[in-house]
Amino acid sequence: MAMATRNSRATASPLTSSPLATTAQPGFLTGWLSRIPLPKWALIAVAVAVAVLLLLFLICIIKCCCGKKKHKKKERVSLHAVSSSSTACLVQPEMEDLERGAEQMWRGKLQYSLEYNFRAQELKVGVKQAAELKAMDSGGTSDPYVIVYLTSDTKKKYETKVYRKTLNPIFNESFTFQIPQVEVPESTLVMQIYDFNRFTKHNIIGEVRLPLASVSLQHVIEQWSDLVAASKVEEEHLGEICFSLRYVPSTGKLTVLILEAKKLKRMDSHGLSDPFVKVHLVLNRKKWKKKKTSVKKNTLSPYFNEMFVFEVPFNQIQNVDVVISVWDHDKVTKNEPIGKLFLGCRATGNQLRHWSDMLSNPRRPLAQWHSLQPPDVVDKALGLKSHLKLSLAP
């Protein structure tokens, strides 16, 4: 019994000492906290506040990191959206923009008629009416009238009456043009609608250009056409001339053969001209020799077949310009130039090519068609010094 009791005490002692070992660390923390001169509730409040601050700090760090990533993604999306919308605006505008653009482009429409009299060689143009014209005045209306002409004769133009404060004028006026049948396919009918202004320049609303080659004049035509923006003033067509050049270096003879001309500009009131041709030789920018053809009456396509021979030494051929000019003869008034051109080493384009071919092929006549140019343009290019006639020793 004594041994059993002694053994039970020996085994019980470790069990009673284990609680002291486990409470040693809490006792240290309790001792450390007991040194702080604050009540227990204050310590708990400080601990809670510190915990809350730490929690908020962690939340802020997390939000900042995640926010930057999300911001970059949003930024990329927004930039992509901007570029997409910009491209979309260029490719496919909004409906409001389309409607606004259509309103700006719309100028109205014109009704007209065409009738060609093959026996009398006359084209009758009827200007019927216009509709839905573009408003040019501040009051939302216009004062429209129509100008009608053919590109083959821009000097002869007709005008309708002016109709005040309307966008739907009814003209019902007709005009007759004298035009040969052979020239009809090469001409264009132009009808321009203007807004009349009493004190300022008249504004053009729009125009209709109708190439006569694109319509059949075997019967009367009556139709509507939309007005378009007026094109630039077309360059006036002065006509074309065909002639040949031949030069023989051994004899120093330059032969100019004036063959024919066509589509000449109308110079007379009856729609024709009385053309003749002058051939000038210019040496060192000074007029030297001159000859001319006979006059062909009442025609825009004269046939001459007249030859002129000039003596030009081989050592001077590089300094010579040949000036071809077509004139309209008038008995009462002064003769008027229709158009000019010149050939020589200072020329350009077809004129220079023709001259070079002549020099490259001596003794051989070379014929070619050339377009006439405005006389003042040719005179300026020639830069003539004086009108004195020079003598040249052979």
- 185 contacts: CB under 8 Å, gap ≥ 6: 212, 213
What local confidence, expressed as pLDDT, does residue 19 receive?
A: 43
Does residue 331 sit in the same domain as residue 216? Answer: no
Does residue 116 sit in the same domain as residue 173? Answer: yes
| Residue 261 covered by a domain | yes
| Residue 220 covered by a domain | yes
How many Cα atoms sit within 13 Å of 165 on the Cβ side? 2
| Residue 387 covered by a domain | no
Does residue 377 sit in the same domain as residue 243? Answer: yes
What local confidence, expressed as pLDDT, does residue 197 receive?
A: 85
Tell me which residue range forms the domain holding 327. Answer: 239-382
| Residue 17 covered by a domain | no
| Three-state SS annotation for 273-307 | CCEEEEEEEEECCEEEEEEECCCCCCCCCCEEEEE
Q: CA angle, 134 as apex, 138 and 220 as ends, to 5°?
A: 145
pLDDT at 287 over 80: yes
pTM given for the model: 0.46
Does residue 197 sit in the same domain as residue 218? Answer: yes
Does residue 163 sit in the same domain as residue 248? Answer: no
**Distance, CA of 76 to CA of 80 (rounded, Å):** 6
Does residue 342 sit in the same domain as residue 222? Answer: no
Does residue 191 sit in the same domain as residue 325? Answer: no
| Residue 275 covered by a domain | yes
Instruction: Give 237-253 as a DSSP string.
Output: P--EEEEEEEEETTTTE
Does residue 140 sit in the same domain as residue 202? Answer: yes
Q: pLDDT band at residue 232, thresholds of 50, 70 and 90?
A: low
* Token pair for 303: 């046939």
Domain with 149 in it: what CATH number? Answer: 2.60.40.150
**Distance, CA of 24 to CA of 27 (rounded, Å):** 5
Final residue of a structural domain among 226, 257, 287: 226
* Token pair for 295: 């006059």
Does residue 196 sit in the same domain as residue 136? Answer: yes
What local confidence, expressed as pLDDT, does residue 225 receive?
A: 93
Report the SS3 class of residue 159.
strand
What local confidence, expressed as pLDDT, does residue 35 receive?
A: 66
Final residue of a structural domain among 226, 260, 290: 226
Q: pLDDT band at residue 60, thresholds of 50, 70 and 90?
A: confident
| Residue 3 covered by a domain | no
**Distance, CA of 280 to CA of 390 (rounded, Å):** 13
Average pLDDT for 205-227: 91
Q: pLDDT band at residue 193, thresholds of 50, 70 and 90?
A: very high
| Residue 77 covered by a domain | no
| Residue 15 covered by a domain | no
Does residue 244 sit in the same domain as residue 356? Answer: yes
- In total, how many domains does the chain have? 2
Does residue 171 sit in the same domain as residue 249? Answer: no
Strands 144-150 and 109-117: unpaired
* Token pair for 107: 């100028």
Average pLDDT for 244-273: 89
Final residue of a structural domain among 226, 253, 284: 226
What's the mean per-residue pLDDT of the chain?
A: 79
Cα–Cα nearest to 229, from 156, 139, 134, 162: 134
Q: pLDDT band at residue 36, thresholds of 50, 70 and 90?
A: low
- How does pLDDT run across 77-129, given as a tens digit for each residue? 343 443 433 333 344 444 544 444 444 588 899 999 999 999 998 999 999 99
| Number of other CB atoms surrounding residue 297 within 10 Å | 11
**Distance, CA of 258 to CA of 242 (rounded, Å):** 7
Does residue 216 sit in the same domain as residue 279? Answer: no
Average pLDDT for 177-205: 87
* Least reliable range by pLDDT among 144-153, 164-173, 243-252, 304-313: 144-153
**Residue listed under structure tokens 């630039």:** 232
